[in-house]
A and B are shown apart, each in its own frame.
Chain A
Amino acid sequence: MSTDSTHRIWVLVKHNALIRWRDPGQIISYLVLPMAIMVMFKPLYQQALNRFAGDDQGALQVVTGPLIMFSIFAMAVVGHSVFLERQWRTWDRLRTSAASTGELLIGKTVPVFVILLAQQLILLTFGCLITGLSFPSSFALVLLVLVIWATVLIAIGTALATLIRSMAELGMLTDIGSMVVAALGGALVPVSMMPGWLQLLAHFSPGYWGLEMLRAAFRGDAGAVVAPAAILLAAGLAAGLFTVRRLARGWGRSALV
């Protein structure tokens, strides 16, 4: 990567971080709400699950469930950041600059990636502290899993943002979609307690694979991380390729001129 390219990416990262900084409402709510849920639902999950599934299972559910659910909700931050460029006609404006599509995408996604990762790390730490769940023995493995999860969320969120036509549509899609994907994945109720047909359907939810991956990392079971990580990365790659293709051409006929 040339010095010029690095400089342009740095300029774009600073710019996109500034835009996020000026509009922090979404991410604050996606931090505060899961924290409140963890606190309020801790007794319920611990009583319900510890009895059937063993010690720590209730705490694990109350920490990882909201974490995965609200990290999926946080795709709205990604969508919002991409959609604003369309609404303000600034994406095509950026395309007329010396920056390449790759540089524009890196500059746009890095700040959001940092936000998502920070959200997950904060929720994980908070959850462990209030539930008494042991901190994972392999922090590096958990961090790797969170990096993979944040990357996949950004890829899918950006792809969805290129398809929607309004902020209301984005809100609807992220609210309904996130709730369904997370719940189906086992964020509210463990998949093993769902009816058979839902257990089957759960395998099509990224939330399911996200939870599987995160819980395996919590156990320090690197082998069990591989399959869900591979499935998620494949989905993320497909979404990423779609996004690059769509954004490189702009949104149909130029929105700028």
Chain B
Amino acid sequence: MLDAIGLTKRYGAIQALDGLTLHVGDGEIVGLVGHNGAGKTTLVSILAGLNKPDGGSVHVDGIDPVRARDRIGIAPQHIALYQSITVREHLRLFGGLAGLRGRALAAVITELVEALRLTEFVDRRAGLLSGGQQRRAQAAVALVHRPRLLLLDEPTAGADPETRQALLDVVKDRARDGASIIYTTHYLPELTELRATIAVAQQGRIIARGTSAELLDRLAGEVLLRFDVGEYRTATHDPSATLVDLVSRARYPIRGVELRTPTLDDLYRSLAAADVH
């Protein structure tokens, strides 16, 4: 569905993308994670046809993203809604631009309103909605034309739990229907819930890719010990013995300790740190 090969993009002195390659298949959800400035947003803007890469190639369904815009839906990280029109009017506008009209458009709007729990404020102006309600409205706009490629750029940032769950449920539904989804986020548990393939972006490249289980295998056998004075990760078959050993060798008093297996967050930090060093 999506093939981005060797993308480069520079803004002045900043190399936003540095040979980034990413493939997303039909029905696949790719969770794109990375620090701010890793290139995620630049990638999304190129995939949405808003920017052109300096180098490399990108194809959506085999064609240039600008020509494939009717197949792409985007929910940007910033709210981009007309403050003086209602949610329903937004859906009519963007559904209409995608060629939907009459009963077909009305049916899609009804379906989305229910799925994203917009019923009570669908006829309210966007400027009067709360942040969470605007997030859901924004997602509905991205989904109204049933895009084959869905770009969700931190769609749950600042969202309340109800909004977050409604969005995740809809994303899973769309993937089941065959849509390809790129989901950027800083909340890694969301990617586990979505059963997404995770792609870690760092300095304009993808430095690791796999399911959460595959990526965590990289840390198989390791435990993470977090003391009040610092963090220590090591491979061991006997975590208790390792803990006792470390405590006994400590040069200063230890007042608190946590012992656990590494999570996706830990893995991500370790990958990012390794790439930087």
Which A residues form the contact surface with B (CB < 8 A)? 4, 7-8, 11-12, 15, 18-19, 22-23, 84, 88-90, 92-99, 250, 253-257
CA distance A23 to B98 in the complex (A): 27
Contact mask for chain B residues 92-116; partner A; CB cutoff 8 A; 1 contact, 0 none: 1110111101000000000000000
Q: Which of B72, B76, B153 counts the most A-chain CB atoms under 10 A from its CB?
A: B76
Tell which of A4, A18, A92, A253 touches B99, judged by Cβ atoms closer than 8 Å.
Answer: A4
Question: Chain A: which residue is nearest B138 at the CB level?
Answer: A93
**Which of A8, A18, A96, A250 counts the most B-chain CB atoms under 10 A from its CB?**
A96
Shortest C-beta distance, B121 to chain A (Å), equals: 17
List residues of chain A with CB within 8 A of the CB of B74: 93, 96, 256-257
What are the 6 closest A-B residue pairs judged by CB atoms, nearest first? A11-B96, A89-B80, A98-B70, A97-B97, A93-B80, A254-B50
B11 interface contact, C-beta 8 A: yes
Docked CA distance A95–B72 (Å): 12
CB proximity of A85 to chain B, nearest CB, Å: 9
Q: Which of A18, A93, A98, A256 has most chain B Cβ within 10 Å?
A: A93
A63 to chain B: closest CB distance in Å? Answer: 34
Look across to chain B and name the residue whose beta carbon is closest to the beta carbon of A103. Answer: B97
Chain B: interface residue total (CB-CB under 8 A)? 33
- CB of B85 within 8 A of CB of A22, answer yes
Instruction: Check B50 against A257 for contact (C-beta < 8 Å).
Output: yes
Q: Are A98 and B45 in contact (CB under 8 A)?
A: no
In the assembled complex, B21 has its CB within 8 A of some CB on chain A? no
Q: Considering the chains assembled together, what is the distance between the CA atoms of A94 and B97 in angstroms?
A: 9
Given contacts A95-B49, A97-B69, A257-B74, contact A8 B84 (CB under 8 A): no
Residues of A within 8 A of B48 (CB): 96, 256-257
| Cross-chain pairs A/B with CB under 8 angstroms, 12 sampled | A8-B96, A8-B97, A11-B92, A19-B84, A88-B80, A88-B81, A89-B79, A92-B50, A93-B141, A96-B74, A97-B94, A97-B97
Most B CB within 10 A of own CB, among A19, A97, A253: A97
Q: Indicate the member of B69, B97, B101, B141 with the most A CB atoms within 10 Å.
A: B97
The reply to whether A257 and B77 form a contact with Cβ atoms under 8 Å apart is yes
Given A7-B99, A8-B96, A98-B97, answer yes or no on A256-B49 (Cβ-Cβ < 8 Å). Answer: no
Q: How far is the CB of A28 from chain B (nearest CB, A)?
A: 16
A90-B49 CB under 8 A given contacts A97-B98, A98-B69, A99-B97: no
A-B contact sample (6 more), CB < 8 A, given A89-B79, A98-B99: A15-B85, A18-B89, A19-B85, A96-B74, A99-B97, A256-B78
Cα–Cα distance between A97 and B98 once the two chains are bound (Å):
7
Contact A88 B45 (CB under 8 A): no
Choose among B50, B78, B92 the residue that contacts A95 (Cβ–Cβ < 8 A): B50
Q: A22-B85, A97-B98 are in contact. Are A15 and B80 (CB under 8 A)?
A: no
Q: How far is the CB of B99 from chain A (nearest CB, A)?
A: 6
Answer whether residue B261 sits at the interface, using C-beta atoms and an 8 A cutoff: no
Answer whether residue B119 sits at the interface, using C-beta atoms and an 8 A cutoff.
Answer: no
Chain A residues near B76 (CB-CB < 8 A): 89, 92-93, 256-257
Bound CA–CA A4/B69 (angstroms): 14
Report which of A11, A23, A84 forms a contact with B97, defined as CB distance below 8 A.
Answer: A11
User: In the complex, what residue of chain B is closest to A15 when comparing beta carbons?
Assistant: B93
Tell me if B270 is interfacial: C-beta within 8 Å of chain A. Answer: no
A89 neighbours in B (Cβ, 8 Å): 76, 78-80
B69 touches A257 (CB 8 A): no
The smallest C-beta distance from A104 to any residue of chain B, in angstroms, reads 9
B82 within 8 A of A: yes
Q: Is B15 an interface residue (CB 8 A)?
A: no
Please measure, in the bound complex, the distance between the C-alpha atom of A93 and the C-alpha atom of B92, giving whole angstroms: 14
Give the chain A neighbours of B89 by CB distance below 8 A: 15, 18
Bound together, the chains give a CA A49 to CA B80 distance in angstroms of 53
Assess whether A96 is in contact with B72, with CB atoms less than 8 Å apart: yes
| A92/B80 in contact, CB under 8 A | yes
B44 CB-CB contact with A under 8 Å = yes
State A257–B49 Cα separation when bound (angstroms). Answer: 12
B192 close to chain A: CB less than 8 A: no
Query: Quick one: given A11-B93, A257-B44, A257-B153, are A19 and B78 in contact (CB under 8 Å)?
Result: no
| Complex CA–CA separation, A90 to B51 (angstroms) | 16
A178 and B63 alpha carbons, distance in the complex (Å): 47
Smallest CB separation, B51 vs chain A (Å)? 6
**Residue numbers in B under 8 Å from A22 (CB-CB):** 84-85
Interface string of B50-91 (1 = CB under 8 A from A): 110000000000000000011010101111111111000100
